[in-house]
Structure 1
Amino acid sequence: MDFTALPLWGNALLLAGAGLVVWRAGGRLADNADRIGEATGMSEAVAGALLLGVATSLPEIATTVSAGLLGNAALAVNNLFGGVAMQMAVLALIDFWFVRGALTYFSPDSTLLLGGVLLVLQVAVSIVAVAAGDVTLFAHVGAWPFLLGGLYVASLYFMDRYAKRDVWTPKVLPDRDSDRDEPADARGPEDDESDDAEEREPSLWSAGVQFTVAAALVLVAGWTVASASDALSEQTGLGGGFVGATLVALTTSLPEISTTAAAVRAGRYTMAIANIFGTNTLEIALLLPSDLTYTAGPIVDAADASALLTAGLAIVLTAIYLWGLLERRNRTVLNLGIDSACALVAYLSGLVLLYLRSGATP
């Protein structure tokens, strides 16, 4: 289907409709990914970064692969980097609407610090890749996306290992041996098996089926988002870089927005931030499938200066939240945590710079 043959308003409606499908199906996807993680006994770090991260990133996977097939490297790369920045800004919006205080103050989990540092490492390496250029390994595929994919896998391993180690608790605690009563929720695997043996298998089967159906919907909607956005970038004259970092990034970030909001409403503040960090580490790794589908050469070599801008913005926003997680001060400005307020100002400033960089005039 030739989307450029449609009028501008037609592509805009397609983008909005596909975004609605992504929002609804993405929410179901995340819910069932959480159920699968619980039923299979995965650690929270791996379930959040792998199952939930992959689930909520399906729109980005579909969009970037489709953009690569369409030959629009700027749309593919800026969708990924713009998505990382957009989702960090989402934390500020969630903080404003749903948290009575600073979001990072209610998230005292040091695993988040490791997740944020690993995210900064991945984005920094991707900036080096774009600045240095790529080397073709085979056919049209470059070396940097494989390195970034390896960093993602390593991040999952180190986060899982870190979550299982109590590295911040002092080794000797007073009266540690005097309080060994088993908490009400500290039950062994045999207890869970005896209580849930009859429920686990049907629940896992149901969650798996619903996960698959929702994934198919998100993939189709993601392809529609990429195609309509590619046409809009030509029809509006804004260019794939700006459209990818704004409209496409917003549309494909809808599952992350819905799941993060749900986690905060349920009082799971740490999970809300972990969802964003885990998803963003996968976003950078998606340069690999994008490179596999972009046949004009290594996709890193086709990235423009706007990709460097959005990637740098992503690092700035992540660093701001790492600062907030370390300081943990419950101070607000206009119902926003100070870190969230700084992140929102930085993100809006970055969008202005990106708009000016795109060559568009107000």
Structure 2
Amino acid sequence: MSLLDLAQNSTWLNLVLFALFAAGVWYSGSKLSLYVDLIAERTGIGKAFAGALLLGGATSLPELATTLTACASGAAQLAGNNLLGGVALQIAVLAGMDVFCLRNRPLTFFSPKAALLLQGVFLILMLSLIVMMLVTGELIVVAGVGLWPLVLAAMYGFGLWSFHRYEGDPRWEPAGELEEPPESSRDIKDVHLAEYKTTSTGTLFSWFCLAALGVLVCGFMVARAGEVLSDQTGLGQSLIGATLVALATSLPEVSTTWSAIRFGAYSMAVANILGTNVLEGALFLPADLVYREGSIIEAMDPASSFLAALGIVLTSIYLWGILERRDRTILGMGYDSALILLFYLGGMAVYFYQL
């Protein structure tokens, strides 16, 4: 009998397993931003694009594992709410980094990249399509796959192409005091560059893949433990999916964003979150492929569209902060970050009250 089988009869044991696997997600994710930053430096692919593609893709593996595991067992509401709850939570993570990493200087002030604005716009587009999807329900189903998930996946592919093309040829440049703080204030990056100077790019990519595998395996186990917790606690798939599981599967984004900011890769930190969130919408396609009890869209509660709408609000506030670049703070964070945290906490309270 496996540990997960034993945990089915013990809430406390299941909580311990959940915490252990979540810690594994954190540790593996903490290595990803370092490897991606070094790979971006050596290959010249651009940090915003690297953050969206490599970091965004790798740190989305727990969401993928959670989504597919939940869908395979028929827990469509848990899978969908994990994706949508994760979008809002990860924007709130960016806001929280202002307090812990850049006290008295807004993160949006140091990340005025045109590519980030483009990623934010695509995220709003994806979330708007998800709202329409949940309100209207599935329109066409062919061989068990709905039209809406295909549209979302196609939009994600077009978005990646646009990010890569636009980062190399931006149409505007920011104005203001400076684009990034002095490198001397983040000398951790210099230490990492010196430490990995003799390490080949191929080796770095291999380590990146190993860290991503750790994120995937631990994320899969977190999904299983979270599903059992939803039954044991009686809180239901909607609440557990939008909070506990979304938080655990967002740990890679938290750890990679923290690490990226510490060694001065601010644009990569923001692109990691925005790129991950854009990918969340595309994950409805593999979810629909694995969910065999019909269309996952039809199985979800239309009230979940509130989570998508909350993600639109938070993303819009963050884009406002990048555009305005106001170097003013309140309680040690930017005005935009304070508004995001306020709207996130208030929005989640409204959502749970309406359940």
Superposition TM-score tier, normalisation by shorter sequence: 0.7 to 0.9
CA contact 2:37–2:47 (8 Å) conserved in 1: no
Matched, 1:324 2:329: no
What secondary structure is seen at the aligned counterpart in 2 of 1:168? coil
Counterpart-to-counterpart distance in 2, 1:4 and 1:291 = 28
Q: In the TM superposition, what whole-angstrom CA distance separates every residue of 1:264-284 from its partner, at most 9, and x where no partner exists?
A: 222332222111111111111
1:333 has 2:333 as partner: no
TM-score (norm 2): 0.87
Return the alpha-carbon distance in structure 1 between the equivalents of residues 51 and 74 of structure 2.
32
CA spacing shift, 1:321–1:169, aligned 2, 3 Å: closer
Unaligned stretches of 5+ residues in structure 1: 171-198
1:153 aligned to 133, 150, 157, which one? Answer: 157
1:11 aligned partner, one-letter code: N
Q: Which amino acid aligns with 1:131?
A: V
Q: Deviation per CA, 1:136-175: give whole Å up to 9, x if none.
A: 44332211111101111111111111112141259xxxxx
Q: Is residue 290 of structure 1 aligned with residue 287 of structure 2?
A: yes
Displacement of 1:216: 2.5
Superposed counterparts of 1:228-267, under 5 Å: 228-267=225-264
Secondary structure of 1:314's partner? helix
| Mean CA deviation greater in 274-283 or 209-218 | 209-218
The 8 Å contact of residues 3 and 227 in structure 1, kept in 2 or not, is answered as no
Q: How many percent of aligned residue pairs carry the same amino acid?
A: 48
More displaced, 333-342 or 204-213? 204-213
Deviation of residue 39 (structure 1)?
4.3
- Unpaired runs of at least 5, structure 2: 175-195
Match of 1:267, as an amino acid? G
Which amino acid in 1 is paired with 2:34?
A: D
Structure 1 residues 279-336: Cα deviation after superposition (integer angstroms, max 9, x where no partner):
1111111111111111111111111134211111111100111111111111111111
Q: Choose the corresponding residue for 1:121, options 108, 111, 125.
A: 125
In structure 1, the partner of 2:95 is: 92
Equivalenced residue count is 330
Give the Cα–Cα distance (whole angstroms) in 2 for the partners of residues 3 and 134 of structure 1: 38
Contact kept? 1:136, 1:298, Cα under 8 Å = no
SS at match of 2:60: helix
Deviation for aligned residue 1:79: 0.6
Amino acid in structure 2 at the alignment position of 1:339: D
Equivalent position SS for 2:200: helix
Return the offset for 1:211.
2.5
Q: Deviations over 1:168-199 (max 9, x none)?
A: 259xxxxxxxxxxxxxxxxxxxxxxxxxxxx9
Report the alpha carbon displacement of residue 200 of structure 1 after superposing the two structures with TM: 9.4
Q: How does 1:183-262 map to 2 (within 5 A)?
A: 203-262=200-259
- C-alpha deviation, 1:6, in angstroms: 2.8
- Between the aligned partners of 2:209 and 2:319, the Cα distance in structure 1 is 34
Q: Please give the alpha-carbon distance, in whole angstroms, between the structure 1 residues aligned to 2:37 and 2:304.
A: 32
1-side partners of 2:216 and 2:268: how far apart? 25
